[in-house]
Structure 1
């Protein structure tokens, strides 16, 4: 690849990543868009149902059946689905109790959780810079938590903080499981299993919590499933055009995107402490994404 071609490939990757970050910024704001009228479980169910219908139809069109996409590690898919569904419910619920951009910043510390799981379970080694990046991320999250806790509606905000932190932990676990799956399964298999399993998991709770949807709420909730699949497609195209060290840091554009959305759509203001915290999460996440993950040698691991 020539230098010019390499630059265009990088530019395409950046544009695909920015589009993916924007898509998921909108999806994770679903709870704010529809308000308290629709439960977060119902929102997440609609998201996975729409995605399952689309990816299921694609599998049938391409393979004329589901046998070719059968998995040898269904338990790993189930673990990914449980953590992913639970995490997404938390991420969508948290902004109902705190500023949306703050909830997003806290949730983006999931990379630190994924790193810790990789160190403990996969025996990956973390150097001083890995720990510095992780601590920078966590310091930013702590500043945001402190800012929220000291505001007038402290009780409500503390609930939001707990939910946001839970979302970060669970989505970090999902990233870890995705890491394991990507070396064993094709992307279509991974997308099919998580969406179908999520629908099965959420069917009964969603039915029990079901509230009628009308007008713009109904249109939005019917759209987020295909929109989420498009976001996943954007990530895939981004990684096809550039390495993770370029793509992943650009994904932290979700922080300024969420800040802009919070100001424009939800009329939320930003304080100096919140901005500082978000920038620390952004800086730590970008640094963490650009550092190589290393393993202990086979002898050392044994």
Structure 2
């Protein structure tokens, strides 16, 4: 196995663990925190983490021009839209992990690939075959198995499972938007614009919902930002060293990490049906991810 591929798999594995760990953190707080407040703290801390690197690369004066230049308006809009999807992903994901087992929430969220392929077919005119449709159906059927039925829920499916599915849709939308901007911007500027846009967009919502938190809870939620930034950096390093298709299997190791974290911290033992559903999700999503173009190739498509 080539040395670069081994390094790339190591970076991707670390990234998968960090994102599983990040989505576990809201579950460690001592009380229910409004999901928009969790999202604000995550993106605010992420913005503060990446800002020094952005200013170090461009300097204050050039940094301002990088943000305000007319030639960057299209990219800025894409980053802002991606930030909206990211906020939705974090908010729905926070609600999901605090209401259903961590591994179940992460398994349902992994159906984001199905939504990414469907949205890419509509907006990027990517071709979807009968095999793609079958793989997507298997993936969604697995999500249904993982999601329910929940005897304790007032309906067939719990609100936590529904939130995880909404997270998957927001996550898939974010992937499609990333395809527009990935090759046209630097990682530092991309991370700065996405995290900064999310903070600004959440200011109004969080001002109405804000609740005072114990220092312990505040530190836990703020730590989501640096963990996410480091996780994104790991993924960038991985995809610099290896093709997307070769790293797709590593993405689903995050489900194993989520199950282990849930078992260690919350004594959550996955049900056999949930394990079977997770296998279906991984199988369908793995096929879709390998069948479709890497992000770098698709990014050149204009809406």
TM above 0.5: yes
- Matching of residue 163 in structure 1 with residue 154 in structure 2: no
1:23 to 13, 18, 25: 18
Q: For residues 5 and 276 of structure 2, what CA distance do their matches in structure 1 show?
A: 29
**What is the CA-CA distance between 1:220 and the residue it aligns to?**
1.9
1:142 alignment partner in structure 2:
144
Q: Secondary structure at the match of 1:263?
A: helix
Greater mean deviation of Cα atoms: 129-138 or 237-246: 129-138
Q: For residues 214 and 150 of structure 1, what CA distance do their matches in structure 2 show?
A: 32
On the 8 A contact 1:91/1:164 being kept in 2, the answer is yes
Greater mean deviation of Cα atoms: 236-245 or 26-35: 26-35
On the 8 A contact 2:245/2:289 being kept in 1, the answer is yes
Q: CA RMSD in A?
A: 1.9
Q: For residues 156 and 208 of structure 1, do their structure 2 counterparts lie closer, same or farther at Cα, with a shift above 3 Å needed?
A: farther
Q: TM-score, normalized by length of structure 1?
A: 0.89
Alignment of 1:30-69 (within 5 A): 30-65=25-60, 66-67=63-64, 69=66
1:300 alignment partner in structure 2:
none
Q: For residues 285 and 165 of structure 2, what CA distance do their matches in structure 1 show?
A: 16
2:299 alignment partner in structure 1:
none
1:251 alignment partner in structure 2:
251
2:298 alignment partner in structure 1:
none
Cα deviation digits, residues 85-131 of structure 1 (max 9, x gap)? 11210011112222221111111101110100111111111233322
Alignment of 1:259-298 (within 5 A): 259-293=259-293
1:298 alignment partner in structure 2:
none
- Matching of residue 84 in structure 1 with residue 55 in structure 2: no
2:175 alignment partner in structure 1:
175
Q: For residues 97 and 224 of structure 1, what CA distance do their matches in structure 2 show?
A: 19
1:99 to 94, 98, 101: 101
Q: For residues 84 and 21 of structure 1, what CA distance do their matches in structure 2 show?
A: 17
Q: Secondary structure at the match of 1:137?
A: helix
Q: For residues 183 and 61 of structure 1, do their structure 2 counterparts lie closer, same or farther at Cα, with a shift above 3 Å needed?
A: closer
Greater mean deviation of Cα atoms: 246-255 or 156-165: 156-165
Q: Secondary structure at the match of 1:183?
A: coil
- Matching of residue 72 in structure 1 with residue 70 in structure 2: no
2:204 alignment partner in structure 1:
204
Cα deviation digits, residues 172-227 of structure 1 (max 9, x gap)? 11111011111322222211111001100112322332233334323222322111
**What is the CA-CA distance between 1:156 and the residue it aligns to?**
9.9
Q: Secondary structure at the match of 2:73?
A: coil
On the 8 A contact 1:97/1:157 being kept in 2, the answer is no
**How many matched pairs?**
287
**What is the CA-CA distance between 1:31 and the residue it aligns to?**
2.2
On the 8 A contact 2:120/2:126 being kept in 1, the answer is yes
Q: For residues 30 and 108 of structure 2, what CA distance do their matches in structure 1 show?
A: 21
**What is the CA-CA distance between 1:79 and the residue it aligns to?**
1.3
Q: For residues 48 and 265 of structure 2, what CA distance do their matches in structure 1 show?
A: 30
**What is the CA-CA distance between 1:68 and the residue it aligns to?**
5.1
Unaligned runs of 5+ in 1: 1-5, 295-302
Cα deviation digits, residues 109-156 of structure 1 (max 9, x gap)? 0111010011111111123332232222112111112xx323334559
Q: For residues 47 and 40 of structure 2, what CA distance do their matches in structure 1 show?
A: 10
Cα deviation digits, residues 279-300 of structure 1 (max 9, x gap)? 1111122222211339xxxxxx
Q: For residues 233 and 140 of structure 1, what CA distance do their matches in structure 2 show?
A: 30
